[in-house]
């Protein structure tokens, strides 16, 4: 009989077929988890352990009995806080993030790096409580401990305000019968070599993207409803269940005209759509000189710097292209040193590099504007100059978002990562795949956060790659802008 962990139980709650595939067709597994999300989870979990003061930690061991025995040792020693306390009842196993022990019972604290409580978290914690109750413990309370989305660091980190604790004790009791029935079915599923017959549904995407979706959707041919850009997953599932799956079938439906346009262009290989009048109207809103700006940021689940919020963006780099008075293209850039608060030095350099009241062009300007606004609120002495930049930002994304410029290769997207190769198909200088080490924003963020852990020689190479990547972002904007100017 297979062991049932809390993660396996939660996978079952999402989709019965997932646990069968994970046992019998593991080769079909496609990783969907983001490394930075997992790192945030580990960081939050480690910090939460000190919330109640001194604690004893059960060290991870592949041999589960070793973790169980270490837990028993701490219980015998009457430790009041045990982290990763591990228990087994029948074939059910769970390690509890934080177990608080009193004379008359225990309290469970399941720690999450999220800023909200999802239903799956409640199933997770209730499963743990079920095991402890079956083992004879008096479970006084069951709690979800998560991050406070409104917390802003001011001075020393305040754990009592950083974390929010939600009591789900009553719900965990109500769920006992459900857990018992689920465990029985899980055992039956895992003991059978017959594949579960479970069709595609919302559970393929919620609460998490399923790593077996490619396998389960192998019967669906190319050009299908799941390839429609921008359509909600709820709508896609609704159409799928109605048997409206192929692009040909979707063309007959009353759906958003942008979806129909994406389908029509792909199926019929249509020529580019270029609305010259609208593009000219957009270009007329831009005044020379134009400065092309792009930021790179990272996020900390736990704020590290003064005025930083939970998951607040920390800008560490920017690239700036512009034309000088002789119409020569120039470039400036900034990349912070590692392991310091980069915001002040970045803001100071930015106001030096961008003259007052010039037109600043960004791609998806809401991101750049949010970064500048946060900096202006943080540094009062720089606020006036920063807000001048903020007020003069224009968005190069506009003609593509409005579909005034659209080609088949954009495939329903107006992201620069789709627009650029669609407009410049055979230009290796504009191909992000040709870069070394850093090829996208996620890689830039993850790489910079880890920069301090590398050797000096490795850091030099990585910093060079970060600069090249960010430079390409603004150079790409320049090329797109020039492409639009050719239309006039």
311: in domain: yes
Q: Is 195 helix (H, G, I), strand (E, B) or coil?
A: coil
Q: 40 with 129: CB under 8 angstroms?
A: no
State how far the Cα of 264 lies from the Cα of 198, in Å rounded to an integer: 32
**∠ CA(293), CA(297), CA(302), 5° rounding?**
155
Q: Residue 291, Cβ neighbours under 10 Å: how many?
A: 22
**In this structure, are 293 and 162 located in the same domain?**
no
State how far the Cα of 474 lies from the Cα of 460, in Å rounded to an integer: 22
404: in domain: yes
Q: Residue 123, Cβ neighbours under 10 Å: how many?
A: 22
Classify residue 187 by burial, with Cβ atoms within 10 Å: 0-12, 13-18, 19+. middle
Counting Cα atoms < 13 Å in the Cβ hemisphere of 331 gives 16
Token pair for residue 51? 């919330």
**In this structure, are 287 and 414 located in the same domain?**
yes
Q: Of 109, 87, 84, give the one whose Cα is nearest residue 163.
A: 109
Domain extent for 347: 271-488
208: in domain: no
**In this structure, are 66 and 187 located in the same domain?**
yes
pLDDT in tens, 347-406: 999 999 999 999 999 999 999 999 999 999 999 999 999 999 999 999 999 999 999 999
Q: Of 310, 304, 374, give the one whose Cα is nearest residue 115.
A: 310
200: in domain: no
Q: Report the pLDDT value the prediction gives residue 33, as an integer from 0 to 100.
A: 75
162: domain CATH number is 3.90.320
460: domain CATH number is 3.30.420.10
Classify residue 348 by burial, with Cβ atoms within 10 Å: 0-12, 13-18, 19+. middle
Q: Report the pLDDT value the prediction gives residue 399, as an integer from 0 to 100.
A: 97
21: in domain: yes
**In this structure, are 253 and 342 located in the same domain?**
no
User: Could you tell me how many helices (H) and strands (E) the chain has, helices first?
Assistant: 20, 13
Boundary of a domain, candidates 191, 210, 243: 191
**In this structure, are 264 and 285 located in the same domain?**
no
* Packed helices 6-14 and 16-24: angle between N→C axes, nearest 10 degrees: 120
**In this structure, are 276 and 264 located in the same domain?**
no
Please state whether beta strands 313-323 and 329-335 pair in parallel, antiparallel, or not at all (unpaired). antiparallel
H-helix segments, 302-455: 343-353, 365-378, 380-391, 398-401, 416-423, 441-449
**∠ CA(385), CA(386), CA(392), 5° rounding?**
95
**In this structure, are 242 and 333 located in the same domain?**
no
Classify residue 147 by burial, with Cβ atoms within 10 Å: 0-12, 13-18, 19+. buried
**In this structure, are 106 and 15 located in the same domain?**
yes
Total number of residues shown for the chain: 488
State how far the Cα of 23 lies from the Cα of 16, in Å rounded to an integer: 12
- Given the structure tokens 């000189």, which residue do they identify? 289
Q: Report the pLDDT value the prediction gives residue 444, as an integer from 0 to 100.
A: 96
Q: Residue 193, Cβ neighbours under 10 Å: how many?
A: 7
243: in domain: yes
Alpha carbon distances (Å) from 150 to 102, 134, 161, 375, 448: 31, 38, 9, 18, 26
pLDDT in tens, the chain (488 residues): 789 999 999 999 999 999 999 999 999 999 887 766 777 788 999 999 999 999 999 999 999 999 999 999 999 999 999 999 999 999 999 999 999 999 999 999 999 999 999 999 999 999 999 999 999 999 999 999 999 999 999 999 999 999 999 999 999 999 999 999 999 999 999 999 999 999 999 999 999 999 999 999 999 999 999 999 999 999 999 999 999 999 999 999 999 999 999 999 999 999 999 999 999 999 999 999 999 999 999 999 999 999 999 999 999 999 999 998 888 999 999 999 999 999 999 999 999 999 999 999 999 999 999 999 999 999 999 999 999 999 999 999 999 999 999 999 999 999 999 999 999 988 999 999 999 999 999 999 999 999 999 999 999 999 999 999 999 999 999 999 999 999 86
Token pair for residue 345? 């030095």
Prediction pTM value: 0.92
**In this structure, are 245 and 285 located in the same domain?**
no
**In this structure, are 46 and 101 located in the same domain?**
yes
Q: Is 259 helix (H, G, I), strand (E, B) or coil?
A: helix
Q: Report the pLDDT value the prediction gives residue 1, as an integer from 0 to 100.
A: 76
Q: Report the pLDDT value the prediction gives residue 35, as an integer from 0 to 100.
A: 67
Q: Report the pLDDT value the prediction gives residue 40, as an integer from 0 to 100.
A: 78
**In this structure, are 475 and 450 located in the same domain?**
yes
198: in domain: no
Q: Find the distance separating the first CA and the last CA of the chain, reported in whole Å.
A: 71
Q: 212 with 27: CB under 8 angstroms?
A: no
Counting Cα atoms < 13 Å in the Cβ hemisphere of 487 gives 21
Classify residue 288 by burial, with Cβ atoms within 10 Å: 0-12, 13-18, 19+. exposed
Q: 439 with 469: CB under 8 angstroms?
A: yes
Asked whether the CA dihedral 191, 197, 198, 200 is positive or negative, the reply is: positive
397: in domain: yes
Q: 216 with 17: CB under 8 angstroms?
A: yes
Domain count, the chain: 3
**In this structure, are 258 and 330 located in the same domain?**
no
Q: Report the pLDDT value the prediction gives residue 402, as an integer from 0 to 100.
A: 96
Token pair for residue 203? 């559970």
């Amino acid at each position: 009989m297979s062991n049932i962990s809390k993660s396996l139980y939660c996978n079952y709650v999402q989709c019965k077929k997932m646990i069968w595939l994970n046992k019998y067709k593991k080769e079909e597994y496609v990783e969907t988890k983001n490394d930075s999300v997992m790192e945030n989870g580990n960081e939050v979990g480690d910090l939460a352990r000190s919330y109640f003061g001194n604690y004893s930690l059960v060290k991870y061991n592949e041999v589960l009995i070793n973790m169980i025995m270490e837990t028993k040792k701490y219980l015998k020693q009457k430790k009041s806080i045990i982290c990763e306390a591990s228990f087994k009842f029948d074939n059910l196993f769970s390690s509890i993030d934080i177990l608080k022990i009193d004379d008359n019972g225990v309290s469970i604290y399941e720690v999450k790096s999220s800023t909200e409580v999802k239903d799956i978290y409640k199933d997770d914690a209730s499963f743990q409580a079920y095991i402890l109750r079956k083992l004879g413990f008096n479970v006084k309370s069951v709690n979800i401990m998560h991050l406070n989305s409104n917390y802003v660091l001011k001075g020393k980190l305040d754990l009592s305000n950083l974390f929010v604790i939600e009591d789900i004790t009553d719900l965990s009791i109500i769920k006992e019968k459900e857990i018992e029935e689920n465990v029985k079915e899980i055992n039956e599923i895992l003991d059978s070599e017959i594949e579960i017959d479970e069709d595609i549904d919302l559970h393929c995407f919620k609460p998490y993207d399923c790593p077996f979706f490619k396998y389960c959707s192998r019967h669906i041919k190319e050009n299908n409803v799941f390839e429609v850009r921008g359509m909600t997953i709820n709508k896609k599932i609704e159409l799928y269940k109605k048997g409206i799956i192929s692009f040909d079938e979707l063309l007959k439906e009353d759906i958003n005209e942008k979806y129909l346009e994406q389908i029509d262009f792909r199926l019929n290989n249509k020529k580019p759509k270029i609305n010259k009048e609208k593009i000219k109207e957009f270009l007329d809103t831009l005044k020379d000189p134009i400065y092309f700006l792009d930021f790179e940021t990272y996020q900390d689940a736990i704020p590290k710097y003064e005025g930083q919020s939970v998951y607040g963006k920390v800008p560490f780099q920017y690239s700036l292209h512009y034309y000088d008075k002789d119409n020569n293209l120039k470039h400036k850039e900034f990349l912070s040193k590692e392991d310091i608060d980069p915001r002040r030095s970045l803001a100071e350099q930015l106001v030096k590099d961008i003259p007052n009241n010039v037109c600043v062009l960004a791609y998806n300007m809401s991101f750049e504007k949010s970064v500048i606004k946060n900096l202006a609120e943080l540094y009062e002495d720089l606020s006036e100059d920063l807000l001048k930049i903020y007020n003069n930002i224009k968005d190069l994304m506009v003609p593509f978002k409005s579909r005034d410029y659209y080609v088949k290769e954009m495939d329903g997207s107006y992201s620069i990562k789709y627009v650029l190769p669609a407009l410049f198909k055979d230009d290796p200088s504009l191909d992000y795949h040709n870069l070394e080490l850093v090829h996208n924003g996620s890689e830039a963020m993850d790489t910079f956060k880890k920069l301090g852990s590398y050797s000096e020689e490795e850091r030099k190479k990585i910093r060079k790659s970060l600069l090249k990547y960010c430079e390409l972002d603004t150079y790409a904007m320049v090329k797109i802008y020039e492409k639009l100017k050719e239309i006039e």
